[in-house]
């Protein structure tokens, strides 16, 4: 691998220095961000589970979850906290990507994972802005499905756009399969310090984490297939979101059972994110 240019090395050192100075705040915002993520996934999963078991509810994505939160008693206050968490988590992902706080490395695989963290920061910034708009009463903007269709259309309009959209879809499928691999390989406690928990409680953390990652892997694999289908049919309307992925499960044979299992898995993932909020090892090098 070619050496990193001196200017880039200096920029990384400056970023690390600034991050170290702000480390206490970064950690607080990161933990609030994991808690905000937990609130969103528990809401998505709970609504889908209610739909699966005939108790009302609906299949929805992240922005639908934000809308549900703001409609609760003290909803604007709760959503303002969630918004702060979204921005905090985005900041943590950017810092971790630039400083390599989670030791991903500088090999191609590590750089790809760090680039993914930057993408996560962009997504959470968008969610934070949507939450702020809902708190201010100006609406949450486009739905997840509309945003997916919008960006797919813009990519398709580019030269070799069909190939670009296909690569994005393949990347999302790859991410979904990686989540399934993490669930299978039980890689859910790597960045957690569970030393203060009892062995039984730590075991349940692993179970919830694996169940949640498996459900999330299924959802993202379906979303990736939607994007791939948009590329193959040259039709941006084929791209969709978490809510449509869940609705697709519901339309299959034994759909309510499939939806119910995945929905409960998303609730489990939300609980796992709560564990991350409390026990995640967060350090800025």
Does residue 285 fall inside a structural domain? no
Task: Enumerate the β-bridge partners of residue 192.
Answer: 280
Top pLDDT among 102 and 42 is at 42
Share of the chain residues as helix, strand and coil, in percent rounded to the nearest 5: 75, 0, 20
pLDDT at 1: 44
Does residue 256 fall inside a structural domain? yes
Tokens, residue 48: 């889908």
Burial class (CB in 10 A: 0-12, 13-18, 19+), 227: buried
Does residue 1 fall inside a structural domain? no
Q: How far apart are CA 118 and CA 185, in angstroms?
A: 25
Using one digit for the tens of pLDDT, what is the confidence trace for 35-89? 999 999 999 999 999 999 888 889 998 888 999 999 988 889 999 999 999 998 8
Tokens, residue 129: 């802005």
8 A C-beta contact, residue 131 and residue 79:
yes
Note down the domain range covering 13.
Answer: 6-279
pLDDT at 145: 74
8 A C-beta contact, residue 191 and residue 103:
no
Q: How confident is the model at residue 16 (pLDDT cuts 50, 70, 90)?
A: low
For residue 154, the Cα-to-chain-centroid distance in whole angstroms is 22
Does residue 284 fall inside a structural domain? no
On average, the pLDDT of the chain sits at 86
pLDDT at 115: 86
- CA distances, 164 to each of 153, 161, 238, 244 (Å): 11, 5, 15, 22
Least confident stretch, 147-151, 168-172, 214-218, 271-275 = 147-151
8 A C-beta contact, residue 214 and residue 178:
no
Angle of CA points 63, 174, 236, to nearest 5°? 50
Instruction: Indicate if the pLDDT at residue 17 is higher than 90.
Output: no
Does residue 114 fall inside a structural domain? yes
Q: How confident is the model at residue 9 (pLDDT cuts 50, 70, 90)?
A: low
Instruction: Indicate if the pLDDT at residue 243 is higher than 50.
Output: yes
Tokens, residue 167: 């690569």
Q: What is the pTM of this model?
A: 0.86
8 A C-beta contact, residue 223 and residue 172:
yes
Does residue 112 fall inside a structural domain? yes
Which of 79, 171, 172, 62 lies closest to 127 in space, CA to CA? 62
Does residue 152 fall inside a structural domain? yes
Instruction: Indicate if the pLDDT at residue 127 is higher than 50.
Output: yes
Give the percent of the chain with pLDDT over 90. 47
Number of domains the chain contains: 1
Instruction: Indicate if the pLDDT at residue 220 is higher than 90.
Output: yes
Does residue 267 fall inside a structural domain? yes
């Amino acid at each position: 691998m070619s050496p990193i240019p001196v200017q880039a090395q200096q920029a990384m050192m400056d970023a690390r220095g600034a991050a170290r100075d702000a480390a206490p705040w970064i950690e607080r915002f990161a933990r609030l961000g994991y808690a905000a993520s937990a609130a969103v996934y528990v809401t998505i999963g709970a609504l889908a589970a209610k739909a699966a078991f005939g108790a009302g509810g609906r299949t929805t994505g992240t922005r639908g979850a934000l809308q549900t939160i703001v409609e609760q008693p003290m909803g604007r206050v709760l959503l303002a906290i969630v918004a702060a968490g979204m921005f905090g988590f985005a900041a943590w992902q950017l810092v971790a990507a630039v400083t390599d706080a989670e030791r991903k490395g500088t090999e191609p695989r590590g750089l790809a994972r760090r680039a993914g963290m930057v993408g996560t920061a962009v997504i959470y910034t968008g969610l934070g802005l949507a939450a702020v708009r809902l708190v201010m009463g100006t609406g949450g903007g486009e739905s997840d499905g509309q945003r997916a269709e919008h960006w797919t259309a813009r990519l398709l309009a580019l030269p070799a756009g069909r190939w670009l959209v296909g690569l994005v879809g393949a990347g999302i499928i790859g991410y979904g399969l990686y989540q399934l691999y993490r669930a299978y390989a039980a890689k859910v406690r790597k960045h957690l310090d569970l030393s203060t928990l009892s062995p039984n409680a730590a075991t349940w953390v692993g179970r919830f984490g694996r169940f949640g990652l498996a459900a999330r892997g299924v959802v993202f694999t379906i979303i990736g297939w939607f994007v791939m289908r948009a590329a193959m049919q040259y039709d941006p309307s084929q791209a969709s979101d978490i809510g449509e992925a869940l609705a697709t499960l519901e339309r299959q044979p034994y759909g309510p059972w499939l939806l119910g299992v995945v929905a409960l898995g998303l609730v489990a993932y939300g609980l796992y994110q709560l564990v991350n909020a409390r026990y995640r090892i967060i350090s800025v090098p």
